[in-house]
Amino acid sequence: MRSMPPHFLFVDCKYFSAFFGTLGDEIIASNLGKNTSCGEDGGRGILDVVNIAFGMERKMSYREETKVIQIGDRKIGGGNPILIQSMTNTKTEDVQATVAQILSLERAGCEIIRCTVPTLEAAKALREIKKQIHIPLVADIHFDYQMAIAAMENGADKIRINPGNIGSVERVKAVVDVARERNIPIRVGVNSGSLEKALVEKYGGVTAEGIVESALDKVRLIEDLGYDNLVISIKSSDVLMCVKAHELLAGKTKYPLHVGITESGTVRSGNIKSALGLGMILSQGIGDTIRVSLTGDPVEEIYSAKLILRTLGLRTGGIEVVSCPTCGRTQIDLIGLAGKVEQMVADYPLDIKVAVMGCVVNGPGEAREADLGIAGGKGEGLLIRKGEILRKVPEGELLAALKEELDHWEA
């Protein structure tokens, strides 16, 4: 039977035959039975059909079978919730600025934080930083193995290294020995931009296969030194290459994976690339912790990561804001209002949907489908809760009215 790419997993069963024609009918008939009906709601999803067709029905996802790794007081792998990470962009030596940024990230929902440790002063600063924050801290190390040792001695909950730029096996062993002594996990990180020359030549350029081989070589090096408290990350700014690399790696290791699209760009382009890349990877059951890398305020990374996970059904909680794109019929400042609403609801621990709609065409209907909504009119709007119109509110008071409802929200 013809092989199929994994990215058709988003299509419902009822569209399967239409898309693949006779082949689709054959797959459904031979694997679900000739009399199988997709049902009114689509019945079995395409994932079920493909899994059965290729002998994978009821197998656990990669994420559920990965090794459990303890990072401070958090766990990843083994089906534990996917944790959101970010990285500070302050000078780690500046304890006050670094702590302030981490606390801001914590409030946004960051669950693991990484700090660069390029100097001994930065390594020593970790001890004081740790006293003032509430999430695990990962030390990011490049080139100098002594910084990795110093970071662990000063309280790092995990270290991120690329053994390829640490130096000799003896230096890697020195790092591993301290990690083993303190039971500190090591994240083995490989980026497409730092792929070894030999692998570039072997594969005729930077490829997914080369990235995976590089990562596994470094993992084996540490395993040969008698340590397996490991997390793997393989990253590329090329979205499709990154997706393919994760698909290849997931079949070759049981270590948890830190997933992200590296150097993805500014908030606009980076969000699009991260949503596509992470969406394709996570939807296949791959990935135990994530970072959305953006050129900008790292708090934006947290908001984006939470939205990606919620959209994929991998996390609940937090208010989902839906809003219309506006058109010539809109008679309130919906663009400004929607932005203010999204910013306002970020700190509410409610698992509800809020709709901000601009006109009478679709507004009332869409707002009624949400838990709480606004349907704009001429200089005013209807405030709607669970399908019922509460009252008409002047445009200038809509945000305050919405906030009042959220402040007193009861399911």
Residue 119 lies in a domain: yes
Per-residue pLDDT at 409 exceeds 80: yes
403 assigned to some structural domain: yes
Q: Are 118 and 202 within one domain?
A: yes
In a domain, 377, yes or no: yes
Q: How far is CA 104 from the centre of its chain?
A: 19
Number of domains in the chain: 3
Q: What is the pLDDT of residue 246?
A: 95
Domain of 328, CATH number, reads 3.30.413.10
Angstrom distances, CA of residue 289 to CA of 76, 144, 257, 284: 7, 26, 7, 14
My answer on whether 169 and 217 are in the same domain is yes
Mean pLDDT of 326-330: 76
The amino acid that residue 79 corresponds to is G
Q: Residue 165 belongs to a domain with what CATH number?
A: 3.20.20.20
Looking at the chain, the whole-number percentage of residues with pLDDT higher than 70 is: 83
Does residue 190 sit in the same domain as residue 100? Answer: yes
404 alpha carbon, distance to own chain's centre: 32
**Where does a domain end: 247, 278, 311?**
311
In-domain check, residue 1:
no
Among the candidates 250, 280, 311, a domain finishes at 311
pLDDT at 373 over 80: yes
Last residue of a domain, one of 283, 311, 339: 311
Whether the full predicted model's pTM is greater than 0.85, yes or no, is no
User: Do residue 103 and residue 235 come from a single domain?
Assistant: yes
Residue 27 within any structural domain of the chain: yes
pLDDT at 19: 44
Task: Please tell me whether residues 46 and 107 are part of one structural domain.
Answer: no
Q: Mean pLDDT for the chain?
A: 84
Long-range Cβ contact pairs of 250-255 (< 8 A, separation 24 or more): 250/62, 250/284, 250/286, 252/212, 252/216, 253/216, 253/219, 254/65, 254/66, 254/67, 255/66, 255/67, 255/69, 255/77, 255/219, 255/228, 255/230, 255/231
As a whole number of angstroms, the distance between CA 348 and CA 223 comes to 44
Both 374 and 330 in one domain: the answer is yes
Which pLDDT score, from 0 to 100, does residue 411 have?
A: 65
Domain range for 365 = 320-407
Rounded mean pLDDT, 303-307: 91
Spatial CB neighbours of 26, under 8 Å, sequence gap ≥ 6: none
Q: Are residues 73 and 161 in the same domain?
A: yes
Looking at the structure, tell me whether residues 342 and 272 fall in a common domain: no
- Whether 153 and 190 share a structural domain: yes
- Asked whether residue 300 falls in the same domain as residue 336, the answer is no
* Residue among 130, 122, 84, 152 nearest 303 (CA): 84
pLDDT band at 208 (very low <50, low <70, confident <90, very high): very high
28 and 148 housed in the same domain: no
Per residue in 127-142, pLDDT (tens digit) is: 999 999 999 999 999 8
Whether 215 and 246 share a structural domain: yes
Torsion on CA atoms 293, 299, 300, 303, rounded to nearest 10: 100
Residue 24 lies in a domain: yes
Give the CA distances from residue 117 to residues 92, 141, 220, 377, 400, in Å, rounded to whole numbers and listed in that order: 7, 6, 25, 54, 45
Whole-number Å distance between alpha carbons of 190 and 192 = 7
Residue 201, amino acid: E
Per-residue confidence (pLDDT) for residue 410, from 0 to 100:
80
